Copies of this chain bind each other. A is one copy, B any other.
Amino acid sequence: MAEQPRVLRETFGRRREVSESARALGLVPRVGIVLVARGSSDHAAVYARYLIELATGLPVSIAPPSLYTRYRAAPALDGWVAIGLSQSGQTPEIVQTLRALAERGARAVAVTNAADSALAREAELVVDLACGAERAVPATKTFTASVAAIGVLAAVWGAVPWSTADERRAVDAVEVALSDEHAVESVARAALAADVVTYLGRGFGYATALEGALKLREMTGLAAEGFSVADYLHGPVAAAGPRTHVVACAAPGPALADVVAAVDAVAARGAQTLIVAPEGVRVGQRSTLTVAAGLPEPLTVLPMTVRLQQVALLAALQADVDPDTPFGLAKITLTS
């Protein structure tokens, strides 16, 4: 987890190399982009759906692997780019799906931590995350590095709303968050005391909410769940009450007001609430876990995600779970 600043710097630093490779290959989406991933990488795909569609002006979709591996769908994908994301590059179903999409005409890109993996071999272009070995089962570096890699691809194929100076400041913000674990302790304790921990976000912060929930669930076995606020208020909020702990990702941007309204709604039902937000973003008088202020929204989610990783890690330590190998989880999903 502590290696994220180095990994992020290296991944952001690949923009020129990736750009030159994509140009040499003529690897540019013309019709659309389709993403395939699972777990934390799937949350990076949720982030990518927003960023790449905004950057390129082309529709972005997330493929359900079973549609290709089990039902043998064979859509026409000329002009499409397919991006497979997998930390290990070994999850068989992700490899098979990327191959199936390429066989139908999509140009294949792999975002992986293993440049010699099966996934990388299916791809024309590989964005190597260079995280080194992920010792812990719940990947932490991989999600943030995948987000940075998605930023690189979006910048290669379109326009991103930030500068390279902003990227450096985002890495600094990650470093600051990592150096200040103390602020997280009471939050972790409150999460452990709840029956259900619900992570809410919208837009770029939705990816962070999903990732925060998965990390807490993987590391502690708590019933943690992530929702987009609009979906949540449409029905699942029915389960919210005094035994619910809500963690809201209040990224500054056009969806912030929706997140604030959702926090008010769950608080009115008696739920406990915690806000994760940049300094200066206040949601009423509510307890807030902060990150550095002033970053563009798509980069703010990097230190915000680190905050949620810290919550999961400290909760696991307080609950006396070994966070590196919890609950018999295996690193590679072996659905073929």
Contact = CB atoms under 8 A, between A and B. Distances in A.
Given A59-B80, A75-B58, A76-B58, A239 B255 contact: no
A326 to B, nearest CB: 6
Given A59-B80, A80-B59, A234-B38, A70 B255 contact: yes
Interface stretch (A14-22, A120-128, A220-228, A284-292): A220-228
Interface in A53-74: 53-54, 57-62, 64-67, 70-74
Classify the interface of chain A: helix, strand, loop or mixed: mixed
Interface in A209-254: 214, 217-225, 228, 230-231, 233-239, 241, 253-254
Nearest to A244: B223
Contacts of A70: 202-203, 253-255, 258
A235 B222 CA distance: 12
Q: Which of A228, A237, A254, A335 has the most CB of B within 10 A?
A: A335
Interface in A27-67: 31-32, 34, 38-40, 42, 49-50, 53-54, 57-62, 64-67
A88 B314 CA distance: 45
Contacts of A318: none
Nearest to A91: B234
Interface in A130-184: 138
A122 to B, nearest CB: 18
A64 B222 contact: no
A218 B238 contact: yes
Contacts of A230: 38, 65-66, 93, 333, 335
B203 A221 contact: no
Interface string A109-123: 000000000000000
A66 B238 contact: no
Interface of A: 31-32, 34, 38-40, 42, 49-50, 53-54, 57-62, 64-67, 70-77, 80, 93, 138, 195-196, 202-203, 206, 214, 217-225, 228, 230-231, 233-239, 241, 253-255, 258, 326-327, 329, 333, 335
Given A38-B230, A238-B326, 6 more contacts: A39-B234, A57-B73, A65-B230, A66-B228, A214-B236, A223-B239
12 contacts: A49-B64, A50-B73, A57-B74, A60-B75, A62-B62, A71-B255, A72-B254, A214-B235, A214-B236, A217-B235, A223-B223, A238-B327
